[in-house]
Amino acid sequence: DIQMTQSPPSLSASVGDRITITCRASHIIRHYLNWYHQKPGKAPKLLIYRASSLQSGVPSRFSGSGSETDFTLTISSLQPEDFATYYCQQSFSTPFTFGPGTKVDI
Protein backbone atom coordinates (compact mmCIF):
# COMPACT_ATOMS: atom_id res chain seq x y z
CA ASP A 1 0.00 0.00 0.00
CA ILE A 2 1.09 3.59 -0.58
CA GLN A 3 1.47 5.38 2.76
CA MET A 4 0.58 9.06 2.98
CA THR A 5 1.98 11.40 5.61
CA GLN A 6 1.03 15.00 6.34
CA SER A 7 2.58 17.86 8.26
CA PRO A 8 1.89 19.50 10.50
CA PRO A 9 -0.67 17.34 12.35
CA SER A 10 -2.33 20.53 13.49
CA LEU A 11 -1.88 24.26 13.23
CA SER A 12 -3.36 27.33 14.78
CA ALA A 13 -4.03 30.29 12.53
CA SER A 14 -6.06 33.45 12.23
CA VAL A 15 -8.47 34.77 9.64
CA GLY A 16 -6.46 36.26 6.79
CA ASP A 17 -3.38 34.09 7.35
CA ARG A 18 -1.65 32.23 4.54
CA ILE A 19 -1.13 28.59 5.45
CA THR A 20 0.56 25.64 3.80
CA ILE A 21 0.05 21.94 4.48
CA THR A 22 2.41 19.34 3.09
CA CYS A 23 1.75 15.75 2.05
CA ARG A 24 4.25 13.05 1.19
CA ALA A 25 3.66 9.71 -0.50
CA SER A 26 5.77 6.62 0.19
CA HIS A 27 5.99 5.89 -3.55
CA ILE A 28 5.88 8.02 -6.67
CA ILE A 29 2.26 8.83 -7.44
CA ARG A 30 2.88 11.27 -10.28
CA HIS A 31 0.11 13.90 -10.00
CA TYR A 32 -2.57 11.55 -8.61
CA LEU A 33 -3.08 13.49 -5.41
CA ASN A 34 -6.30 15.02 -4.12
CA TRP A 35 -7.05 17.35 -1.20
CA TYR A 36 -10.24 17.39 0.88
CA HIS A 37 -11.41 19.20 3.93
CA GLN A 38 -13.85 17.91 6.51
CA LYS A 39 -15.84 19.66 9.20
CA PRO A 40 -17.05 17.81 12.31
CA GLY A 41 -20.00 15.53 11.59
CA LYS A 42 -19.82 16.15 7.85
CA ALA A 43 -18.52 14.30 4.83
CA PRO A 44 -15.20 15.31 3.29
CA LYS A 45 -15.36 17.81 0.45
CA LEU A 46 -13.06 17.71 -2.58
CA LEU A 47 -10.97 20.88 -2.96
CA ILE A 48 -8.08 20.06 -5.31
CA TYR A 49 -7.67 17.12 -7.70
CA ARG A 50 -4.66 15.86 -9.65
CA ALA A 51 -2.38 17.89 -7.40
CA SER A 52 -3.21 21.34 -8.72
CA SER A 53 -6.67 21.49 -10.33
CA LEU A 54 -9.34 23.42 -8.46
CA GLN A 55 -12.62 21.55 -8.08
CA SER A 56 -15.62 23.41 -9.49
CA GLY A 57 -17.14 25.79 -6.95
CA VAL A 58 -14.11 25.86 -4.67
CA PRO A 59 -12.76 29.37 -3.93
CA SER A 60 -9.56 30.42 -5.66
CA ARG A 61 -7.79 31.04 -2.34
CA PHE A 62 -7.14 27.27 -2.36
CA SER A 63 -4.25 26.04 -4.48
CA GLY A 64 -2.22 22.87 -4.77
CA SER A 65 1.18 21.98 -6.15
CA GLY A 66 3.68 19.18 -6.34
CA SER A 67 4.32 15.92 -8.13
CA GLU A 68 5.84 12.47 -7.65
CA THR A 69 6.01 12.21 -3.85
CA ASP A 70 5.79 15.73 -2.40
CA PHE A 71 2.75 17.96 -2.46
CA THR A 72 1.44 21.12 -0.83
CA LEU A 73 -1.95 22.72 -0.23
CA THR A 74 -1.98 26.48 0.27
CA ILE A 75 -4.80 28.69 1.48
CA SER A 76 -3.86 32.24 0.58
CA SER A 77 -6.15 34.05 3.03
CA LEU A 78 -7.83 31.88 5.63
CA GLN A 79 -11.57 32.45 6.06
CA PRO A 80 -13.74 31.45 9.05
CA GLU A 81 -15.31 28.60 7.06
CA ASP A 82 -11.87 27.12 6.35
CA PHE A 83 -11.29 25.92 9.90
CA ALA A 84 -11.49 22.16 9.39
CA THR A 85 -9.37 19.06 9.03
CA TYR A 86 -7.53 18.67 5.72
CA TYR A 87 -6.70 15.31 4.14
CA CYS A 88 -4.59 14.37 1.16
CA GLN A 89 -5.43 11.19 -0.79
CA GLN A 90 -3.63 9.27 -3.49
CA SER A 91 -5.52 7.86 -6.46
CA PHE A 92 -2.47 6.35 -8.20
CA SER A 93 -3.19 2.79 -7.14
CA THR A 94 -5.54 0.74 -5.02
CA PRO A 95 -6.04 0.56 -2.15
CA PHE A 96 -6.64 4.30 -2.31
CA THR A 97 -5.16 5.82 0.84
CA PHE A 98 -5.47 9.05 2.80
CA GLY A 99 -3.09 11.04 4.92
CA PRO A 100 -3.77 11.22 8.67
CA GLY A 101 -5.11 14.77 8.42
CA THR A 102 -4.10 18.28 9.43
CA LYS A 103 -6.45 20.07 11.80
CA VAL A 104 -6.60 23.82 11.22
CA ASP A 105 -8.05 25.77 14.10
CA ILE A 106 -7.94 29.20 15.64
With respect to another protein, which residue has the nearer C-beta, 1 or 70? 1
Query: Binding of another protein at residue 102 (CB under 8 A)?
Result: no
Q: How many angstroms separate the CA atoms of 104 and 84, rounded?
A: 5
Query: Binding of another protein at residue 8 (CB under 8 A)?
Result: no
Residues 62 and 48 sit within 8 Å (Cβ to Cβ): yes
DSSP state of 39: -
Per CB under 8 A, contacts with another protein among 9-48 are 32, 34, 36, 42-46
With respect to another protein, which residue has the nearer C-beta, 17 or 72? 72
What lies within 8 Å, CB to CB, of 30 at 6+ separation is 67, 68, 92
Binding site for another protein (CB under 8 A): 1, 32, 34, 36, 42-46, 49-50, 55, 87, 89, 91, 94-101
